[in-house]
Amino acid sequence: MFYYINGSHKIMLACGVFDVPIRKDIIHRVVRWQLDKGQQVLYISLIYNLISEE
């Protein structure tokens, strides 16, 4: 088991799941997905602001 300690919390994680090498291609996809989602939210909020000002 792998222990993750965050402040006063202690969590047991399975080594078979969390103790694997990091794949750069998956990290790249996740970062791109998060950035794209953030831009969509910004675009939608700008549209709502323009509509509400009219």
Question: Which whole number is the average pLDDT over 37-48?
Answer: 71
Q: What is the mean pLDDT of residues 37-46?
A: 71
Residue 51 belongs to domain spanning: 21-54
Residue with tokens 């792998």: 2
Number of structural domains in the chain? 1
Backbone angles phi, psi at 13, to 5 degrees: -115, 145
Q: Give pLDDT, residue 1.
A: 60
Using DSSP, state whether 5 is helix, strand or coil: strand
- Cβ–Cβ < 8 Å for 24, 31: no
Tell me which amino acid residue 27 is.
I
Instruction: Of 10-14, 26-30, 47-51, give the lowest mean pLDDT range.
Output: 47-51
> Is the model's pLDDT at 21 over the cut of 70?
yes
* Residue 9 maps to a domain: no
Nearest to 2 by CA among 21, 19, 22: 19
- 14 domain residue, yes or no: no
In-domain check, residue 51: yes
